[in-house]
Structure formats: C-alpha cells, structure tokens
Structure 1
Amino acid sequence: MSEKQNDDTDPQTAIDAQREKHAHERDDRVYEHAAGDEQEGIPFIGAGPGHPRLLTVAGKEALEAADLVVHAGSLVNSELLSAYCDHAELVNSVGKDLEELIPLMRDAYEAGREVVRLHSGDPAIYGAALEQMDALEHEGVPTYLVPGVTSAFAASATLRTQLTLNETANHVAFTRPQGKTLDAEDDHIAEFVGMGDVTTCLYLGTHAVADTMDRLLESGADPDTPVTVVYHASWPDEDIIEGTVETIGGKLEAAGYRASAMVLIGDAAAGAGYERSYLYGEWANRSESESESASDD
C-alpha cells in the first residue's frame, strides 16, 4: 500500500494507480484469505436481493459490529437496515460522489470506528465496489469483499426453477441493455437469446425492456420466447409478470415498474422442456472405480 495521501487527493488518481498495479501484480491477500474469512479493514458487503434473511452470515456479523454503515439507499431494504443496523450511524450513498465517500469512510476507519460499505445484491455484479476499494487502498485503508445473493438467484428461487436445466439451458448470461453506460456495439443480448440454450438475466434495464424486446424482434428472435420479470425479488411487494419477447414490454409498461426488476429470458424461467439429468440416473450408480476411471479420461 502507498503512503496516505493528502485530503485533496483526487480519487481518480488513486484508481488509476491501483488499476495499473493490478495489471502487474496480484495482491498477497488473495493467497492468504478465502471468501468468508474475517479480515482487516472495511468490508464491502452484498446485502442480497432484499429479504433480510438472504443476507449472508458474514454480512450479518459485520453489520452487527458496525459503527458506521454506508449503504446504497433504497436499493437496500429498510427492513434489513432496521434488523441489523439500528445501532449504527447510517449514511445513504445515493447522490454522493467518490470525492465525498472516500474521505468519509477513510476518516471514520482511521478514527477507530467499525465501517461497513453495504451494496445491494452482490458487489461483483454491476456494482461499483472496486473503484471505491482501490481509492481507499491507495490511501492506506484495507478493504475486502463479502459476497451476497444476486437478484437473479432470488428470482429463480421465487419462480421455483433453475437458471440452468438439462436440454433447456446450458448457459447463463448476466447482462444489461444498451443505454447511457453501454454502447450499442457492446449490447450482446440478441446473441445470447439467439443461442437458444441460454438463460439471459437482464440487470439494470427495467425501464428499457420494451426497446430491448423490439431490438430482439428486429434481430430475428422468436416472438414467443418466454420472458419473466420478477419485480423486487424477495421484497414484501414482489411481483411476477410473465410474457414473451413480443408481449412483455407492454405488460411491464402497464404495470408501471421502471426499476428494481430482474428480467429472465428463456424457457428455464418457466421450468419448461427440461430432461432428467445424468446426475441421479445410471451415471450416478456406477461403481467408484468406474467413476474414477472416467474422471481420468
């Protein structure tokens, strides 16, 4: 870690320095700790999809010990904050830039306070955790990640199905539609859907579902391809809207949902068309020696 910077350090300078460092060397802590270990520093915790019971044990323990929790505003269920953070100072990160957040967390940590950064879902999926962690690390504040349950998994649990099903979906794609932060040439949704055996999980795109479906139709997608939208997966106001590539845009618009929904494209969301797997069939009943021989092939 570098020496602590002055208060006027530009977070972008810190991010650039850390990013360059990542390109040439791996942090030693990668080899010293596994996910789930209690570590030194500020934990960046995935709050999960919404329901307080879907927070991990590691996340719960860190929150219960926290003095300061910087959280992702309305993306984190207030019931979760009440259940685990009612003793701590709460700071909503919405509307605050890195120039404000980094000194806030750094100063609290250096003052001896237990600081937690609470993201929605899992920070590894469309989170902006690494840039905050890099900015803090550059100023000598250690950080680490605590994974959370992402909304795609909560949605599949609500729907009582799997994202992968034998002979139906062999792959899962986590993606987002084109817009302000994703150029059209980087939008691969039509490619994923066109493969046929992919469950496409659309994040951050509730407001753009109708446009996305129109582009799919223009690209030749089957209009009858199933699409299931789970609004606020695991929250008290959770809702499910079912349709197809051709109909889901209108149905979602009629429902009035503009954010916080998981869009699942493909047959797996309905649990349809799958075949019995090999896992619990004749393959599973082979002798141990046969299994070992097969694994060596």
Structure 2
Amino acid sequence: MTDDTPNDPQDAIDSEGERRREELDDRIFDHSAGDDQEGVPFVGAGPGNPRLLTVAGKELLEEADLVVHAGSLVNSELLDEYCGHAELVNSVGKDLEELIPLMRDAYEDGDNVVRLHSGDPAIYGAALEQMDALEHEGVPTYFVPGVTSAFAASATLRTQLTLNEVSNHVAFTRPQGKTLTPEEDHISDFVEMGDVTTCIYLGTHAVRDTMDRLLEADHDPETPVAVIYHASWPDEDVIIGSIGDIADKVEDAGYRASALVVIGDAVTGAGYERSFLYGDWANRGPDSSDGNESDAQANETQAGDD
C-alpha cells in the first residue's frame, strides 16, 4: 500500500492536463463506452429513478466492494437496491485529499471500487479532476455514462428537446454565480437565438435573477419555461410558466435546489413541423437519388436527426 498522503491534487491535475496536450490517451482507441475496463469506473447514477440506471452501471454496482457516492443527489432507493452489500461512503464534505487515498487504497487492496455520480458524470460532475488525481497515482479510471436530468425532464414533459422548425439546438448551461462570471453566462444569448432549448443546471436558487436578466434584455416574457424538481424521483414536481411568471411560481413552491430549468418553445412541444423521415422522403423509391446509395444514406442520417 502506498503512503496515505496523495500527491497534491492540483499538481496531479496540472500534470495530467499537460500530458493530455502532448498526446492522446491510447485507451481512447482501445475502448468504447460500455466496455469492461480496468480501473475505477465513474458511473452515472441517472437522474433519480433506479430504473434509469444503465445496465453497465447496475452490473458494476452489484460487483462493488466500495461505492463512493454523491450523497443525497443519488436516490437512496438506488443505493438500497444495488449497493446494499457494499461499503458506502458519502463524498459530500470530503475534499480530494481525503477521497483520493480512500479510493486508491481500496483499489490497490484488490477491492472493486465504484465512484457514483448523479446524472451523468460528464455534465457538471467534477469527475475529471478526481480521475486525473487517481491516474497520477497509477490508478486507472474510466467513464460509464448515465442519463442526465435534462433527458428525464424531457420525458416527463412528454416532448423532445429538439423539434423540427422549433428547436435545432440544445444548450446545457448554468447561471452566473460563485463559479461563473456574468461574462461567462450565455443564457440570454441562447434564448435570443430562438431555436435553442436552454437547459439550466444548478440554477434553481437563481431563477428570479435569471428571468429578470432575460426580461431586461427584452426577451419575450411569454417564452415558455418549465422547472422540473427532482426529475424522475418519487417527489417529482413540474412547474410550467413563462419568462415573465416562472420566478413567482418557483418561489411559491419553495424550491431552491435540485430542479432543472428548461427555456424555449420545445417545452410545450407546439408548432413543430413534420420531419423528413416520415414524410415524402420515406416514400421515395430506390432510384430517387439517381442511383447514388451514399446520397440516400446521407439523407437518412440527416432526417433521423429530426
């Protein structure tokens, strides 16, 4: 077993970042998402409902000896169902100097270690800094994707985040605050584009400030907004409103955290146009592309994106 004190996490992050600038990791070309890999998996627990955990995530949790999880952000029902046999460690309140030796030592002792993040660890998960610190100490790591809350919210709203002639783009973002300067807050820019569904993470506490800034920027106060509290959890709540009134509704409900804010016409699912996939293009014969199979395949790919 190595020393209980890890290398300085910031030194590890800087070192791994510099290495990444110089050359790509060979594992990028050796493995795809979902593969069995060596090391500590950083697993996305999904938005809340245990049934939205991926098959890969379920298998890894069932084999785990140690699960380091994101506290109350992970549904306790999921922990009970898949992790009851394992040692559970809540990562909330623990810094890298404590978490890295914990996971490193367990892995080096031969334990199956799983780092369990809420949603998908690639979206506001602060996963890479932990992975870099572990890699710097010789512990391999890898991502196991999860269902992010924006997709659970879309399912709850019974709509798509992208809709033909309504929303061609999706933005995952967060509002200005302690970790994001006003210059880095692009919510108004996304809304101004008109055909963007804007999904705001970590912004429940700032709904009024965000909407006030949008109104000051002369955005249409009738633009649809949905706030989905605890998407897919048993206590899920959905608040539908607009830029002009959603702040009052959220404050009346008393929510200050754990909700996703969605802005844009895709919230209602109204006004979209029929896609090419099931329109005239689907009825075209095999010779309609002048016998060019590659053109047909390109059209299919494009239509499928609708």
The interval holding the TM-score normalised by the smaller chain is over 0.9
Distance (Å, rounded) in 1 between the aligned partners of 2:236 and 2:286: 45
Q: Secondary structure at the match of 2:288?
A: helix
Name the residue aligned to 2:114: 116
Sequence identity (%): 76
Instruction: Find the partner of 2:189 among 155, 168, 191.
Output: 191
Q: Count residues with an aligned counterpart.
A: 294
Query: Aligned letter for 1:107?
Result: D
Deviation at 1:24, TM superposition (A): 1.2
After TM superposition, the structure 1 = structure 2 runs for residues 110-149 of structure 1, keeping only pairs within 5 Å, are 110-149=108-147
Query: Aligned letter for 1:13?
Result: D
Instruction: Find the partner of 1:284 among 277, 282, 286.
Output: 282
Q: Determine if contact 1:226/1:267 at 8 Å carries over to the other structure.
A: yes
Distance (Å, rounded) in 2 between the aligned partners of 1:127 and 1:40: 21
Q: Secondary structure at the match of 1:131?
A: helix
After TM superposition, the structure 1 = structure 2 runs for residues 215-294 of structure 1, keeping only pairs within 5 Å, are 215-291=213-289, 292=293, 294=295
Q: Secondary structure at the match of 1:23?
A: helix
Deviation at 1:285, TM superposition (A): 1.8
- C-alpha RMSD over aligned residues: 1.4
Distance (Å, rounded) in 2 between the aligned partners of 1:6 and 1:84: 29
Distance (Å, rounded) in 1 between the aligned partners of 2:99 and 2:119: 20
Label 1:98 to 1:289 Cα distance change in 2 as closer, same or farther (>3 A): farther
Deviation at 1:42, TM superposition (A): 0.3
Range that drifts further, 8-17 or 23-32: 8-17
Name the residue aligned to 2:5: 7
After TM superposition, the structure 1 = structure 2 runs for residues 36-55 of structure 1, keeping only pairs within 5 Å, are 36-55=34-53
Label 1:102 to 1:289 Cα distance change in 2 as closer, same or farther (>3 A): farther
| TM-score, with structure 2 as normaliser | 0.94
Instruction: Find the partner of 1:73 among 59, 71, 74.
Output: 71
Name the residue aligned to 1:161: 159
After TM superposition, the structure 1 = structure 2 runs for residues 86-101 of structure 1, keeping only pairs within 5 Å, are 86-101=84-99
Q: Secondary structure at the match of 2:12?
A: helix
Distance (Å, rounded) in 1 between the aligned partners of 2:150 and 2:269: 15
Distance (Å, rounded) in 2 between the aligned partners of 1:252 and 1:219: 21
* Cα offsets for 1:17-55 (capped at 9, x unmatched): 001011111100110000000100000000000000000
Q: Determine if contact 2:5/2:97 at 8 Å carries over to the other structure.
A: no
Q: Determine if contact 1:47/1:148 at 8 Å carries over to the other structure.
A: yes
Name the residue aligned to 2:23: 25
1:151 aligns with 2:149: yes
Label 1:214 to 1:89 Cα distance change in 2 as closer, same or farther (>3 A): same
Q: Secondary structure at the match of 1:69?
A: strand
Deviation at 1:180, TM superposition (A): 0.2
Name the residue aligned to 2:168: 170
Q: Determine if contact 1:5/1:139 at 8 Å carries over to the other structure.
A: no
**Residue segments in structure 1 that go unaligned for 5+ positions in a row:** none
Deviation at 1:293, TM superposition (A): 5.5
Name the residue aligned to 1:64: 62
Q: Determine if contact 1:201/1:264 at 8 Å carries over to the other structure.
A: yes
Distance (Å, rounded) in 2 between the aligned partners of 1:148 and 1:7: 31
Runs of 4+ in 1 over 2 A off after TM superposition: 4-8, 287-297
Q: Determine if contact 2:66/2:113 at 8 Å carries over to the other structure.
A: yes
Distance (Å, rounded) in 1 between the aligned partners of 2:149 and 2:294: 39
Deviation at 1:176, TM superposition (A): 0.3
Deviation at 1:8, TM superposition (A): 4.5
* Cα offsets for 1:154-178 (capped at 9, x unmatched): 0000111100001111110000000
Name the residue aligned to 1:107: 105
Distance (Å, rounded) in 2 between the aligned partners of 1:96 and 1:72: 10
Label 1:293 to 1:83 Cα distance change in 2 as closer, same or farther (>3 A): closer
Deviation at 1:286, TM superposition (A): 1.7
Distance (Å, rounded) in 1 between the aligned partners of 2:140 and 2:81: 27
Q: Determine if contact 1:69/1:118 at 8 Å carries over to the other structure.
A: yes
Distance (Å, rounded) in 1 between the aligned partners of 2:295 and 2:41: 42
Query: Aligned letter for 2:116?
Result: L
Q: Determine if contact 1:71/1:117 at 8 Å carries over to the other structure.
A: yes
Query: Aligned letter for 1:294?
Result: D
